[in-house]
Structure 1
């Protein structure tokens, strides 16, 4: 399983690498000591000048969770948000750019090299390569699924809407896909429907879209803390 973190966990060297464990499957496996039956690949996205953003600039090393000798730490609280739960109209206009600035698309070649290395050197199963990511990493999940559709057995982008220009290869190769969004996640929910509907219009038969209506942007906390997404991933094998 390759996990692509969000924008707030970027780093420029070994001293920043532990930020990758703040959320997601690595947090679950290492900090919460869960026995997840995957080889987890957790790369880190370089800063690329984004370290001036306040939530990156002001982060403190004390925010990185620590693995305890005995037991596990209490899970962090979910984000508080003033947003109301409400239906959203569908957005039909999209900019030409399929990714946010300085995103995972810059690491495309390195990510594929990591997959190849793990399969070769760690006895990875070439037919059970999974991809998931949150926020910026969710965008990266859509991008990598579209650009390398023959690689993935299943993909799970979380709180990241699909740009319509990325949809066709995913549908053509029938990559099993489960996308998650938050009902209180600002205005972003209305951006999902064009791409999700396009998947079905193009004949994709294995698409799930789950909206956690009571949650904001941090839907990943509930998704990765549960069992369903891991069991769903493990039920999928790459189509020959």
Structure 2
């Protein structure tokens, strides 16, 4: 595979799992044998389909397309239309990218918004040891699974005025994780509606928080 650096994407298809994705490689990716942290970014329902240009319309891929440089490999798969994010498929995709690129497997991070946030929760619940930290946005999960996430750093985000996915569900999940002894925190934007991802990804604080965490 040809290496594309800086703000260019590599478009590939994993035939084994039939998933299209965008892959961002950091500016200095080719300069050494250094291993890089990996962010897995899961989009919302509006970006599903068969056109990768849709994935660039929101979230981290949108920032990269606009010129933002990040010290991460960023994997942004596209969920097919009328489907939901499948944890086993996400895991297979991560394993494939990790085997073909210079990924620091102790620093794999997962984030997503709306449908992608829900996909992030369910994937982390299924494979909690795969990730160093997760950041689900405007989404929630079933609190009965909270005990599976107690060793995983979590930072969830939500808009207080979200009338699509009420913030109460996310709050209950965060409270459940912490009541089991977990390491979860919650940021509620008082004036934000469903789009709480734009502010989250644009302020840069989340990326620094990711880099604070590494699997033992």
Normalized against structure 2, the TM-score is what? Answer: 0.79
- Residue 166 of structure 2 is aligned to residue 188 of structure 1: yes
Report the counterpart of residue 61 of structure 1 in structure 2.
none
CA drift at 1:190? 1.9
Tell whether the 8 Å contact from 1:134 to 1:157 is kept in structure 2 after alignment.
yes
- Once the two structures are superposed, the pairs formed by residues 20-169 of structure 1 within 5 Å of their partners are 20-30=55-65, 32-48=66-82, 102-105=83-86, 108-169=87-148
CA change 1:189–1:234 in 2 (3 A) is: same
The structure with the largest alpha-carbon Rg is 1
Q: Which runs of 5+ in 2 are unaligned?
A: 1-38
CA change 1:207–1:36 in 2 (3 A) is: same
Tell whether the 8 Å contact from 2:44 to 2:116 is kept in structure 1 after alignment.
yes
Normalized against structure 1, the TM-score is what? Answer: 0.71
> Greater relative contact order (Cα 8 A, min sep 6): structure 1 or 2?
1
> Which has more strand, going by share of residues?
2
1: CA distance, partners of 2:166 / 2:117: 13
Q: Which runs of 5+ in 1 are unaligned?
A: 49-101
CA-atom RMSD in angstroms: 1.2
2: CA distance, partners of 1:197 / 1:191: 10
Moved over 4 A (4+): none
How many corresponding residue pairs?
177
CA drift at 1:120? 1.4
